[in-house]
Structure 1
């Protein structure tokens, strides 16, 4: 009788524990999906027309091209054979299961700050995906940068491993925003300048950066990312509402979704909760103003630029540079116009804006009137002067644009 009673209890507990365990695993994987959105994994690990998370996205660098890898649970070509400890080593220390170093095109320098619970949820999510057979492409790096062993030296110089540590003097909302911006969202990866060895400049974080992308029509092109500090050349004029709205919907009183941020908002931040986008805004608005000093452009360039602006831009953007609500965005105080690297601005004017392709799901977005490319209307010298004028009028201040800068973007 005693044995039967114990057996009965065991069966009852088994009937409770197994469904509970399955429920917890499903909940963890579901939370992992949210975190994968926050980290925007799909943009970097999904090639155009390729399988989701199958890798193959090219990342041009000064040292050659690096290709993202398959992060589905395929045992042969993905991460299906990885233990959690191996997954953690990649995320926190930039190490592959075989002990070789990953290149920092994979932002383990940010992901090292992810907390334990979130890391386990991410692992659970990836391991519950449908496996995809997609072998990794060989990186195209010049010697000696093709030698992964050199990353040990790079890490010793520029990488600091460690989880995010909350600031007890700050609010829970601020700390949540700091955690998202600095770890999962890895905003500094694009919005910070880098040194000659490709490491973020620690004394200039979030002051604007530049990076290269592969364009199917034009090959490798350079992009510029704006200053995210509260400098008047960055987010100084943006309110918390402006930032939160832009992250959630691609709309603010200062800007509309355009360029590289298309992928960030469409694949990542629009899926975050209102509380999380607000927390990110709170953190970003706390960043001290920072940036580089700018030399005032010469009078001849400014005069030529003012003439081109009056002819081509003043009607929509207004002589004041303030734009009009339903016509054109403001240029005065624009973070995009004042980005330290003008590449994205040049591309917009010469080749036209890169607007979101996902039009049906963006019915909530009220775009300004579309701007046609000025490739045929402006010479390199005229375009350079025009953009220099825009970047240095109405309180704006940013490095001058040269005709050579324009020529590289055609």
Structure 2
């Protein structure tokens, strides 16, 4: 549905505030005009947008050059490797036109006309504005060209048939543009654009159906995907519920979210695991107004349906001794945490994820912030060699069944899956 002139003008101002000539230094476009500022460097504005989209994390391999691709994404259908998006003419996108780039971003069609897999989040990027895509195009065109051939995807038949994506798109994808909601504030709309579009938070934080499509009715209610637990080893990760549910962000304040996204830690939580890259490569580079807008939008999300059942009192009590001996010093006996030793576990979205994978990963492998971050808490060492599967399951049940937390019971088999 087309938006009216007033909404269109407001949307133009909104998008204008997202693109900046210097990281962290914001500019606002005059009312009724696009964000393009006379004399500004389009490529530098694109650099800011690329940071908001965390492009470098998904397109830079551990041993590779920036944006040259080859990052593996393990999916239920096989492994997909990210593309080389440098302007190398043979192995990158150097022969693409701007129109082909825009089509890839908005429709999931690459330069040769073949379909991209939704591991590339074009279902989120489809809402990006013309101006922002122009700036991103200028940014990628200005990258150093890297000649690096990307590995072939390792997908099972029939998922290795790209032509089937045409059917997938018909079923699960609708090209769209930003729809400015006149009933919401400008900062809310700005946050929606960042969270739903550039930031593509739903790619990790929304559960998917058996065909790999996000479940729209459970948007940002927590998902599952594979990522690193330590070098060379991938495991399943569960992502927290970002809605206002009890097992989500109900106990968080807007200021907690702002601090977490900007610095990697807040009174409610600290980053670890895959979020190290999100904060380190993306959100910490955003201006304060954009961080605030994201927090405003997230805190306004209606609670997702809470379907988890907590462990029984018997199941929970079995892990109390382990908690007292191993965890209470840093997280305190009542789970309230300390600003200097450990985040609160009472009300923690990570503790309460529907699938306990992330919680188990922390207990097994520890939680360490990225070197670029300086949290107030200590790093946590894992207990993989000190606790067996039953002890970790008991500890998990104690955490998920105490202090008002909710979360389905954890079994030793759940722990064994993560080893």
Verify same fold: TM over 0.5: yes
TM superposition shift of 1:218: 4.8
Q: How does 1:29-68 map to 2 (within 5 A)?
A: 29-68=43-82
Residues 40-97 of structure 1, C-alpha deviations (whole Å, 9 max, x = no match): 0000000012110000000000000000011011111111111111011100000012
Quote the residue 1:388 is aligned against.
397
Counterpart of 1:6 in structure 2 is none
* Structure 2 residue corresponding to 1:277, chosen from 291, 294, 313: 291
Assess, with a 3 A threshold, how the Cα gap between structure 1 residues 216 and 234 changes in structure 2: closer, same or farther.
closer
Task: Tell me if the contact between 1:60 and 1:214 (Cα under 8 Å) persists in the aligned partners.
Answer: no
Q: How far apart are 1:25 and its partner, in Å?
A: 8.0
Q: CA RMSD in A?
A: 1.5
Give the whole-Å Cα distance in 2 for the aligned partners of 1:40 and 1:132: 19
Task: Give runs of aligned pairs for residues 85-164 of structure 1, distance below 5 A.
Answer: 85-164=99-178
Residue aligning to 1:309? 323
Which structure shows the bigger proportion of residues in helix conformation?
Answer: 1
1:325 and 2:325 equivalent? no
Q: Are 1:171 and 2:180 an aligned pair?
A: no
Query: Over residues 237-287 of structure 1, what are the superposed CA-to-partner deviations in whole Å (9 max), with x where a residue is unaligned?
Result: 111111111111112111112111100001000110000000000000110
Q: In 1, are the aligned partners of 2:313 and 2:401 still within 8 Å (CA)?
A: no
- Contact 2:128/2:177 (8 A) holds in 1: yes
Gapped runs of 5+ residues in structure 1? 1-22
> Partner of 1:377 in structure 2?
386
Match of 2:89 in 1: 75
Q: CA deviation at 1:378?
A: 1.6
In 2, Cα distance between equivalents of 1:346 and 1:203: 27
Q: Contact conserved, 2:84 with 2:91, CA < 8 A, in 1?
A: yes
Runs of 4+ residues over 2 Å off in structure 1? 23-26, 214-220, 369-372
Partner Cα distance (2:73, 2:234) in 1:
9
Are the aligned partners of 2:310 and 2:405 in contact in 1 as well (CA < 8 Å)?
no
Determine the structure 2 residue equivalent to 1:334.
348
Q: Which deviates further from its counterpart, 24-33 or 69-78?
A: 24-33
Q: TM-score, normalised by structure 1?
A: 0.90
**DSSP 3-state at the match of 1:59:** strand
Q: TM-score, normalised by structure 2?
A: 0.88
| Alpha-carbon distance in structure 1 between the residues aligned to 2:110 and 2:329 | 56
